[in-house]
Amino acid sequence: MLPSALPDLPDLAHTRTSPVQWLATATAMAGVVALAGFLTPGPATASQPGRKPATVAAPDTAAAVFPLKCGGVGSVVTKKATGDLDGDGRPETVAVVRCDAGMGTPPSGVYVVTQPLTEGGAPRVVATLVAPGSEQTVGALAVHDGAVTATLLGYSSPEVPRWKPDVRQKAKWRWQGGKFVRSVPSRAQARAV
């Protein structure tokens, strides 16, 4: 500290800092920082007009009723994938469902399930991509970039045992013009396994 330039002025006591003054300053600064934390605005929630927020949960397949006739054995969801298929900002669930048979390989159905627009409603099936009557099972299922892809396993003739499919085919569906359109594979893509 520099001595006072004027000889008749005494050294002032408050020009020297003490630990109590530093503690008081630090406490005041902490209070300002804490107050600023409470006064900051919330996170931005930009959305496009007409779109619902992406925080909507995917439909629960356990609450959906599938158009599958299984008699008294009931049905089981063997695979599922979720994603926004129609571009509305709400996810759909694609489910592979078959009868819950104790033996054999019953055919599968592939269904698109959507959440109801009103609160409290049950998820509902809005499309059938593969009907169980096609006598196919599903080896793989995925949803990427708004498209559903699946590996379909089938049979080349009625003589092929149902536990050993001998035809494998890739399939892809995309929402176009208000419906799901399947990409038709060439004959070369459907091959014996």
What's the rounded Cα separation, in Å, for the pair 107 and 126? 20
Hey, is 161 helix, strand or coil? coil
Can you give the pLDDT at residue 40? 53
C-alpha angle 91-93-95 in degrees, rounded to nearest 5:
170
Average pLDDT in the chain: 79
User: How far is residue 169's CA from residue 139's CA, in Å, rounded to a whole number?
Assistant: 10
Average confidence (pLDDT) over 84-103: 91
pLDDT of residue 10: 53
* Banded pLDDT at 183 (limits 50, 70, 90): confident
CA 117 to chain centre: 17
Confidence of residue 52 (pLDDT cuts 50, 70, 90): very low
Whole-number Å distance between alpha carbons of 99 and 108: 8
The C-alpha atoms of residue 136 and residue 171 are separated, in whole angstroms, by 12
Q: How far apart are the C-alpha atoms of 16 and 72, rounded to whole Å? A: 90
Does the pLDDT at position 73 exceed 80? yes
| pLDDT for 136 | 92
pLDDT recorded at residue 66: 93
Q: How far apart are CA 101 and CA 104, in angstroms?
A: 7
Rounded-to-integer distance, Cα 25 and Cα 182, Å: 70
Residue 94 in contact with residue 81, Cβ under 8 Å? yes
